[in-house]
Amino acid sequence: MTDGSKRQMAQRGLKIAVVGGGAAGFFGAIAAADQNPNHQVTLYEAGPQPLAKVRISGGGRCNVTHHCFDPAQLVLSYPRGGKALRGAFSRFQPKDTIEWFNRRGVKLKAEADGRMFPVTDDSATIVDCLNRAAQQAGIRIKTRSPITHVEKSGSRFQLRLKSGSVKTEVACDRLLLTTGSSPAGHRIARSLGHVIESPVPSLFTFNIADKRLHQLSGVAVDPVALRLKVDRQLEKASKKKSPSLTQTGPLLLTHWGVSGPAVLKLSAWGARELQQTKYRAQLTINWLPALTQEQVRAKLQEVKANCSRRAIATHSPYAAFSKRLWQYLLQRVNIDSTLTWANLSKKQLNQLVQSLTQSSYDVVGKGAFKDEFVTCGGVRLKEVNFKTMESRQCPGLYLSGEILNIDGITGGFNFQSAWTTGWLAGQAIATTS
pLDDT tens digit string along 266-283? 999 999 999 999 999 999
**Same domain as 423, residue 311:** no
- The structural domain count of the chain equals 3
**Same domain as 316, residue 209:** no
pLDDT > 90 in the chain, percent: 88
Residue 367 lies in a domain: no
Question: How confident is the model over 109-126, as a mean pLDDT?
Answer: 98
**Same domain as 17, residue 74:** yes
Residue 137 lies in a domain: yes
* pLDDT band (50, 70, 90) for residue 152: very high
**Same domain as 114, residue 16:** yes
Maximum C-alpha span of the chain? 95
Residue 22 lies in a domain: yes
Question: How confident is the model over 221-250, as a mean pLDDT?
Answer: 77
**Same domain as 243, residue 128:** no
In this predicted structure, the answer to whether residue 235 has a pLDDT above a threshold of 60 is: no
**Same domain as 352, residue 400:** no
Which are the contacts of 99, defined by CB distance < 8 A and separation ≥ 6? Answer: none
End-of-domain residue from the set 256, 285, 314:
285
**Same domain as 392, residue 347:** no
In this predicted structure, the answer to whether residue 119 has a pLDDT above a threshold of 50 is: yes
Buried b (16+ CB within 10 A) or exposed e, 92-113: bbbebbbebbeeeebebebeee
End-of-domain residue from the set 258, 285, 312:
285
pLDDT at 372: 53
* pLDDT band (50, 70, 90) for residue 98: very high
* pLDDT band (50, 70, 90) for residue 164: confident
End-of-domain residue from the set 333, 360, 387:
360
Burial class (CB in 10 A: 0-12, 13-18, 19+), 147: buried
Residue 368 lies in a domain: no
Question: How confident is the model over 112-128, as a mean pLDDT?
Answer: 98
Beta strands in 156-278 (DSSP E): 156-163, 166-172, 174-177, 196-201, 206-208, 220-230, 244-253, 257-259
Residue 6 lies in a domain: no
Q: Which of 238, 221, 178 is nearest to 46 (CA)?
A: 178
In this predicted structure, the answer to whether residue 4 has a pLDDT above a threshold of 50 is: no
H-helix segments, 107-221 = 123-136, 183-191, 211-214
pLDDT > 70 in the chain, percent: 93
Residue 2 lies in a domain: no
**Same domain as 248, residue 117:** no
**Same domain as 165, residue 73:** yes
Residue 92 lies in a domain: yes
DSSP letter (8 states) at residue 369: P
pLDDT at 293: 97
Domain with 319, as residue range(s), is 293-360
> Which helix (H) or strand (E) element contains residue 427?
helix 413-430
In this predicted structure, the answer to whether residue 350 has a pLDDT above a threshold of 70 is: yes
CATH number for 196: 3.50.50.60
**Same domain as 187, residue 229:** no
3-state secondary structure 337-348: CCCEHHHCCHHH
Report d(CA 289, CA 175) in Å as an integer: 50
Residue 5 lies in a domain: no
State whether residue 55 is helix, strand or coil: helix
**Same domain as 345, residue 244:** no
Report d(CA 103, CA 230) in Å as an integer: 47
**Same domain as 177, residue 67:** yes
* pLDDT band (50, 70, 90) for residue 7: very low
CA distances, 89 to each of 4, 67, 223, 265 (Å): 36, 13, 30, 21
